Structure 1
Amino acid sequence: MATRERNTLSDSTSPYLRQHADNPVHWQQWGDDALAWARERDVPVLLSVGYSACHWCHVMAHESFENDAIAEIMNANFVCIKVDREERPDIDAVYMNATVAMTGQGGWPMTAFLTPDAEPFYCGTYFPPTPRQGMPSFTQLLEAISETWRTRRGEVQQASASVVAELRRTAAGIPEGDRVVDAALLDEAVARVLADEDVPRGGFGGAPKFPPSSLVEGLLRHVERTGSEPARAAVSRTADAMARGGMYDQLGGGFARYSVDADWVVPHFEKMLYDNALLLRFYAHLARRGDAFAHRVAVDTADFLLRDLGTDDGCFASALDADTDGVEGLTYAWTPAQLVEVLGPEDGAMAAQVFGVTDTGTFEEGASVLQLRAEPTDPERFARVRSALAASRATRPQPGRDDKVVTAWNGFAITALAEGGAALGYRNWVDAAARCADRILDLHRVDGRLRRASLGGVVGDAAAIAEDHGALAVALAALHQATGEARWLTAAEEVLDVALDHFADPEQPGSWFDTADDAETLVTRPRDPLDNATPSGAALITEALLTVAASSENSSRFGAAADRSLARASILLERAPRSAGHWLTVAEAAVAGPVQVAIATESVDDDLVRTARRVAAGGTVVVAGPPDSVPLLADRPLVSGESAAYVCHGFVCDRPVTDPEDLTALLVR
């Protein structure tokens, strides 16, 4: 037992866990050994869940986990386990559901107390070191839990049994809906979403405002299918508000996690790979419709991904921290005096006006977060000022970076770079996507099965979840379209075969678990078909199934599975459309088609190919290459030696065309 009485986080592949390796708390990593130790000692488990870019996780760590006296209480009365929610989203999902069930809200850091059988009996989030605003101190909580465990064990066991029963009930899956996923259902879903729009400010609902990445992508696809002006206006307002406010980095590109206010002014400063990849996909899609501002945002966001989140082996790191040297926003906020110091009086005054930097400040201690509410009147001067400020900011202390490479989030980045690069003509984006995909397939596939994450070229033990399989399969299918290479389609089919074999619910056709049937057994097998910060694993798998079915020789298996999934999801689109944005994205593509554009060509960069990638609606499958080189180009030759586009809507095909204008007429209806 003595060897266990130490902090074991230093050998973890999680940067978040390594941040706590020097705590005086005897932190253990999640596993059977830690739970067995709790049984041997007959003490409860203190489970702490967070992530490396989380501001309040850092606060609780500094206040409590680095405190010797508090650590002594933790070590004496609990087996303390630290979990990175990004590396183990399955554990996070189970105990976050318990936290919400007990308290009515969730968040990180999450603090849960479990029996040695991992059953939760008391949950919360952040606890201060001293009583504050009606909250007990963390020490008071520890002592109360420990006393209850010793003297009222029966109540603890009753509470844990009740919580586990509720978790299993809510994980039972969604019932089948009565509605068919058709144009009428999607029109109703969009109308319900638009009713929640914050029209004056952009976005949906009130503060805090998170970027509704999947929802605006789905709305944009609805606009392309129906021409809906209300949906178009909502998309435009939200896209503009997000990218002109403080949540967007006006100097370096890229988006912060969310805005704490309803006006998109003050961000919570961490920059997550998943947000930026999903938003890059959306802004690139919007840019194809001729939106010059969206084009600039897409380019700057792609530059941010490649410059600030790129790893040495061609993948993408998970996040930049919310804090710099323990201070939130230190890198990003400005005062008028600081602008003048860098730019001089005239340009400093101009920058303050353009970026909304005031004497009173929009953030803390008289500082302001940069905004760009209107276009500058002198673009050349603005570019020079922006460049000078970016160079100056680079000399400031910088936020830490979580170098963990997560399969799903890299999948989002691959998709955005492949689709955006192909549509907007940035070949370097496509090349970067291909490098990343090669590395993920090489490192994160072990014995034919995906792992969740790696760090520094060392893959972790955690198994990939449904989100990872769906996001990677979507990404591989996007690369197949962007490059015309058959190997990406083959890899996508392999990932989907694993998903169908291990994540589909055999008792509820069309329903999916978030963990594999042979994954670690938790107190319940989690599944959530609704979007959270990222699209649901079920919706991502369905998108991949739909896309691959329209591209593959094995269309029947994948297509039938996609149909079952969409049928199961109809109730989500009917009852909770704001939380089913990615289902809307997938359903719009299904109702519109499938639309396939197969371009037989000797050059994957001719006018016909560029036209298809620019004007085809989101969800359209566009593949270009030599005749018979991939399944969609089988028996589709050149026409009189010229490139030819074969367009099919819902398995009804038009005659081949060789002129870009004729192709546009077939695709824009």
Structure 2
Amino acid sequence: MSNLADHYQQLPGTDGVPAPPLEQFEKLRQRRGYSYRPRTRHLLPEGWARYTNRLFLETSPYLLQHAHNPVNWFPWGEEPFELARQLDRPVLVSIGYATCHWCHVMEEQSFEDETIAQFLNSHFIAIKVDREERPDVDTVYMTAVHAMGLQGGWPLNVFVTADRKPFYGGTYFPPEDYPGGLGFLTLLMRIRESYIAAPDRVSRAGVQLTEAIRTMLAPTKGNDSWQEVSLDQAVRLYRDRFDDRSGGLVGAPKFPSSLPLKLLLRQYLRGGDRQMLSMAELTLERMAAGGIYDQAGGGFHRYATDTAWQVPHFEKMLYDNALLTVSYLEGYQATGRMEFARVAREILQYLQRDMQAPEGAFYSATDADSLTPEGHREEGVFFTWTPEELTEALGRERGELFAACYCVTRGGNFEGRSILRRDRSLAELATELKLPERELELTLADCRELLYRARGKKPLPLRDEKILASWNGLAISAFARAGLILDNPDLVRAATRAAEFLLGTMMKNGRLCHSYQEGMAKGEGFLDDYAFLIAGLIDLFEAGREPRWLERSLELCTAAVEQFEDRDLGGFFMTGAHHEQLISREKPAYDGVIPSGNSVMVLNLLRLNTLTGDGALLQQAERALGAFATQLATSPAALSEMLLAVDYRQRTPKEVVIVAPAGRPEAAAPFLAGFRRVFLPNRVLVVACEGEELRRAERLIPLLEGKRAEGDRAVAYLCENRSCRRPTSDPEEFYRQLSGTG
């Protein structure tokens, strides 16, 4: 049997490039085993990969996908840039993530091509970056591509000098020339020629792009005009572009995040504009009925490629599903529609069944691609159906019923197969099929569970088992909020397990790590990691009553301010003092598919100020709002999540306190039942039992001082700015106070 050293030496075009310590390869080979078939077309007869590069030493699933390319990949670090200086070569920085469909395509077409690999290895230094492990690197080079006037995306391929300055870039490059564009090999040849023949021009391009990046990412001088910011301007933009047929914004592709549903619901509360409520309601309804929602297994795919949410890009991301859970919970509270609560439950069931690690935290994503029976990787094959497959899984009668309800046809609507979707409501289907609505509902639920089990026998899509602190913070919020709103203690326990993992295993030297993989926590936490986890812990405190969660959120908040705050202009940088210094330091100022760390951090500071009365937290929040005041006024849609913080600050938040007798937490239940019936987003909630629990909470929350139960009955207090209405031991009176009718 040959060894890994033999394979490494066969990498084409690597003469003069020093090999890494090969004993590391052997050690990891024994740990990972070679019983699996490496993901490469370059296999030896005994099943070994012909090529192995330095990425085999990494833990990132994305980097490991490229560990057997003939390209001599390096991970991000000082070594490849020092080598580029010594050999006077340009550097290719190629960025993607494990479940990225077009990253897979470019790997198979270009990075597995031996001719391309030989040229790349001979004339460039090649670096692979997992954007989810290094979002700071991704931001810098994505900004460079935008500065070139190009549309960004992944894979992101940027050519840089040895001092890390970009001079050219793009996204997906096919291997061969095509009408109107260069293939990857031709592009590499052109860049090599320019680098040799016109080094001064390359250097100038690098300097100019670097200056453009610094300008685009530089923090702007703030002011106090955030106090005058109105939500009206932002929601007007969404109203003008609203798709009144399918919800969301007009056009395609269609991302759920493109329409900030939480903002619409708050605007509805502000002025009673029912159009805002209708826009949110229609969007939630049509997304849940469409193919973007996994009708058999729960959870949302990343986006729809069409205008009606029917044909998705089949990736599933933890962050999408955590954020959408909260949107459906708020939609349920604002409308009372039980189907929105059902969708929230199904999303969380999906996360627990398919995405939860044994330790309690949650994995990052699943792939759009999976294997066909013939062994080919194709997008969506795992999630789509034929009438014959329905019959096999459900029987003829129920198979036909399900096909009629979920639009499964012989021709299909995706590569000859059908994506499950509903084009009629349950009531309409029941009338058409002459069945009682409840009976149809139960039958379809049973069919969906059977289909989930049946497809589980097929090759599963790749799962990125990297655990990210930031995305898990979002998941903790989703589970905690759902546990509170849906009165489900099991969901609160799931949030608790994830929080305990992050605060235990993913803390090093008192600082939060960014990721966890193969038993190792690594990477300094970014602003998002701290901000999202702090938000999750505040939600967990409100849902689970344990003061320890508020204590830890305050500790992390102090650490985040120390590490990330811009003390000159306000707001927070993405990276802190312990991070690598790149060519530019970003202050996140855009709420995209994931909210910016600044938007979440500002709301954290405001919520913690409401709970603790700490004026320093309020000052930090207002300085951060001031830092983004100009953008909030001129481009409010770019900071839709920060507008939630503006709304919270402009409208006096409610302080809801429920005190139960010692040892009788169940006495608070009738008050919480009323609390759940009211959509009250701008508030804090404190529930405590008299005794040690209340005394411990009082040390953190001065608002609790003097608040007690009444004999064996709980007492509820509704306050604003520490001024409380008449306390009540009557749950119905408390509900009337909350709803503004008492």
Selected match of 1:36 from 69, 82, 94: 82
Kept in 2: contact 1:465–1:514 (CA 8 A): yes
Quick one: which amino acid aligns to residue 646 of structure 1? Y
- Other-structure match for 2:612: 552
Higher RCO (CA < 8 A, seq sep 6+): 1
- Which one of 584, 588, 592 corresponds to residue 647 of structure 2? 588
Query: Does 1:262 find its partner at 2:307?
Result: yes
Note the 1:571-610 alignment, pairs <5 A: 571-602=630-661, 603-605=664-666, 606-610=669-673
Whichever residue aligns with residue 215 of structure 2, its letter is: R
Secondary structure of 1:618 counterpart: coil
Partners of 2:672 and 2:303 in 1: CA distance? 37
**Residue 642 (structure 1) aligned with residue 705 (structure 2):** no
1:495 aligns with 556
Structure 2 counterparts to residues 47-196 of structure 1, below 5 A: 47-176=93-222, 179-181=225-227, 185-196=230-241
The match for 1:327 is 378
Say which is worse superposed, 376-385 or 224-233, in terms of deviation.
376-385
Is the 2:297–2:448 contact (alpha carbons within 8 Å) kept by the matching residues of 1?
no
Which of 572, 576, 601 is matched with 1:512 structurally?
A: 572
- CA gap of 1:384–1:476, structure 2 versus 1, over 3 A, is closer
Structure 1 vs Structure 2 CA RMSD? 1.8
Contact 2:248 2:259 in 1 (8 A): no
Deviation sequence 1:496-551 (CA, Å, 0-9, x none) = 11221121112212x22111134211011122211122000100111111111111
Give 1:363 shift: 1.3
Once the two structures are TM-superposed, the CA of residue 175 in structure 1 deviates from its matched residue by: 4.3
Aligned mates of 2:647, 2:490 — CA distance in 1:
30
- Whole-angstrom CA distance in 1 between matches of 2:226 and 2:197: 55
After superposition, the Cα gap between the structure-2 partners of 1:177 and 1:231, relative to the gap in structure 1 and judged at 3 Å, is farther
Alignment pair present for 1:228 and 2:288: no
CA apart distance, 1:574: 2.9
Contact 2:329/2:482 (CA < 8 Å) preserved in 1?
yes
Per-residue CA deviations over 1:358-381 (Å, capped at 9, x if unaligned) read 2332111x2111102322422232
Distance 1:545 1:178, change over 3 A: closer
**Aligned CA distance change for structure 1 residues 443 and 379 (closer, same or farther; 3 Å):** same
Partner in structure 2 of residue 370 of structure 1: 420
1:538 is matched with 598
Q: Is the 8 A contact 1:186 1:573 kept in 2?
A: no
Matched, 1:219 2:264: yes
Instruction: Say if 1:264 and 1:29 are closer, same or farther in 2 by CA, change over 3 A.
Output: same
The partner residue of 1:198 within 243, 256, 270 is: 243
Structure 2: distance between partners of 1:477 and 1:454: 23
- Letter of the structure 1 residue corresponding to residue 385 of structure 2: W
Equivalences, count = 664
The alignment partner of 1:454 has SS state of: strand
Distance in 2 separating the partners of 1:63 and 1:224? 52
Q: After TM superposition, give the deviation of residue 613 of structure 1 in Å.
A: 4.0
Contact 1:190 1:577 in 2 (8 A): no
Structure 1 CA distance for aligned equivalents of residues 202 and 20 of structure 2: 26
- In the alignment, is the contact (CA less than 8 A) between 1:214 and 1:585 conserved in 2? no
Q: Which residue of 2 is the match for residue 478 of structure 1?
A: 539
Range with greater deviation from structure 2 (303-312 or 543-552): 543-552
CA separation in 1, counterparts of 2:181 and 2:224? 45
Distance 1:227 1:457, change over 3 A: farther
CA contact (8 A) 1:103 1:124 kept: no
- For structure 2, list consecutive stretches of 5 or more residues without a partner in the other structure: 1-16, 22-51, 372-376, 431-439
The residue aligned with 1:382 is: 444
The one-letter code matched in structure 1 to 2:249 is F
Q: 1:613 to 1:130 in 2, by over 3 A?
A: same
Q: Which residue of 2 aligns with 1:341?
A: 392
Q: Shift of residue 593 of structure 1? A: 2.1
Aligned to 2:285: 240
Shift of residue 153, structure 1, vs aligned partner: 0.3
SS of 1:28 mapped into structure 2: strand
Distance 2:718 2:55 in 1: 55
Q: In the alignment, is the contact (CA less than 8 A) between 1:612 and 1:622 conserved in 2?
A: no
Q: Structure 1 CA distance, aligned partners of 2:268 and 2:230?
A: 15
For the Cα contact (< 8 Å) 2:243–2:249, is it kept in 1? yes
Q: Give the match for residue 469 of structure 1.
A: 530
Give the one of 624, 628, 632 matched to 2:695: 628
- For the 8 Å contact 1:120–1:160, the answer to whether it is kept is yes
Q: TM-score normalised to the size of structure 2?
A: 0.87
1:490 shift after superposition: 1.1
Instruction: Give 1:423 shift.
Output: 1.2
Distance in 2 (alpha carbons) for counterparts of 1:264 and 1:582? 23
Letter of the structure 1 residue corresponding to residue 197 of structure 2: T
Q: Who wins on radius of gyration, i.e. which is larger? A: 2
The question of whether the paired residues in 1 share the 8 Å contact of 2:249 and 2:259 is answered with: no
- Runs of 4+ that moved beyond 6 A: none
SS at match of 1:2: coil
How far 1:96 sits from its partner (Å)? 0.4
TM superposition score normalised by structure 1: 0.96
**2:304–2:311 Cα contact (<8 Å) kept:** yes
Task: Give the share of equivalent positions with the same residue, in percent.
Answer: 37
* Map of 1:563 onto structure 2: 622
Pairing 1:280–2:317 present: no
Structure 1 unpaired stretches of 5+: none
Could you give the per-residue CA deviations for residues 586-633 of structure 1, whole angstroms, max 9, x where no partner exists?
222222322111111134442113322442512321110124341242
Greater shift in the superposed pair: 29-38 or 211-220:
211-220
Partner amino acid, structure 1, of 2:574: D
CA distance in 2, matches of 1:599, 1:122: 60
Deviation at 1:115, TM superposition (A): 0.2
Which one is further off, 104-113 or 477-486? 477-486
Aligned to 1:314, the other structure's residue is in SS state: coil
